[in-house]
A = this chain, B = another copy of it.
């Protein structure tokens, strides 16, 4: 089958290759992939900037977002049948460590994560442990289901901050995660959502505006602290989400928050400089986390099914597996938000 692989240890060694079609084990499902999205983590793996719990094995089929149709089920799998359209989680814990036992497989030190520690979704077929597989709700499209993983991260944010209608929000980084957060906070009744980005994000700002962002802050044009003050009657925002790709954003996140604000950090930077006095004087609470849990995935399915978010609006480019290089290149253009492979 055709698959997009990181072929060597070298940064950027992207290939589209013929690899053997994998065999599902007794408790696995073989999925005929139909759609798969590229995430910034894929880029950081390709460019060797990803800092993982274990080294990324080489060669690896990339990708950890996606959906497809059950092609084959392992001998012990119950309740799933060939032909069923499915979405799936991509993370398994070891099942034995304390964090796994108490329900936090995302904290497992010995996790398996498709596209990161084992083969992923940018291929014609993918093997997925059966307990990670969820039949798609009636009426959901494959490209929508391919968003469930990143959308689940957004659910996780809302579980942490539990917004009330009328609260104000700033999102740093108008990329894919940023736009999903924008939609989610609007659904939750935020009265003001600001999106903060760079000059090269102009096209993304247009999308943000069309999705309902109340305030756009281009960092090369305006002082963000000043801009957010104006947009909030001097208060700062109740909630800040950092989904930029720059450690400067970590510090800025604290600067934009209102008294007793809540800050969510996504950027996995090795280092960032913050101002504790700013954070303390404001009485901030900061949450950092990685990956998702089943409850987030189920809620994300519910959000798409009930129209709380419209993920298709984020798709700016669609490619075939063969066009891997073009697909990854397109991410570097400020015009792209989400890039999806049709498989």
Contact = CB atoms under 8 A, between A and B. Distances in A.
A97 to B, nearest CB: 9
Contact of A260 (B107, B184, B277, B285): B107
A289 to B, nearest CB: 4
Nearest to A162: B162
A99 interface: yes
Contacts of A51: 277
Interface stretch (A31-39, A266-274, A318-326, A327-335): A266-274
A259 interface: yes
B298 A101 contact: yes
A294 interface: yes
A319 to B, nearest CB: 30
Contacts of A276: 247, 250, 265, 267-272, 288
A215 interface: no
Nearest to A160: B285
B283 A290 contact: yes
Contact of A235 (B98, B260, B282, B283): B98
A293 B189 CA distance: 22
Contact of A270 (B104, B158, B166, B277): B277
A102 B267 contact: no
Interface in A8-25: none
A117 interface: no
A260 B108 CA distance: 11
A222 interface: no
Interface string A285-313: 11111100111001100110010100000
Contacts of A53: 281
A140 interface: no
B280 A289 contact: yes
A188 B165 contact: yes
A210 to B, nearest CB: 20
Interface string A56-94: 000000000000000000000001000000000000000
Interface string A126-157: 00000100000000000000000000000100
Given A280-B290, A283-B287, 10 more contacts: A53-B281, A79-B96, A99-B259, A104-B259, A162-B162, A162-B164, A165-B184, A166-B303, A265-B276, A281-B290
Interface of A: 51, 53, 79, 95-96, 98-99, 101-104, 106-107, 131, 155, 158-159, 162, 164-166, 184, 187-189, 191, 235, 247, 250, 259-260, 265-277, 279-290, 293-295, 298-299, 302-303, 306, 308
29 contacts: A53-B281, A98-B298, A101-B295, A103-B103, A103-B295, A104-B260, A107-B260, A159-B164, A162-B162, A164-B188, A165-B184, A165-B188, A165-B308, A166-B306, A166-B308, A189-B189, A191-B302, A268-B276, A269-B275, A269-B277, A270-B275, A271-B275, A271-B276, A279-B288, A280-B289, A283-B289, A285-B285, A285-B287, A286-B287
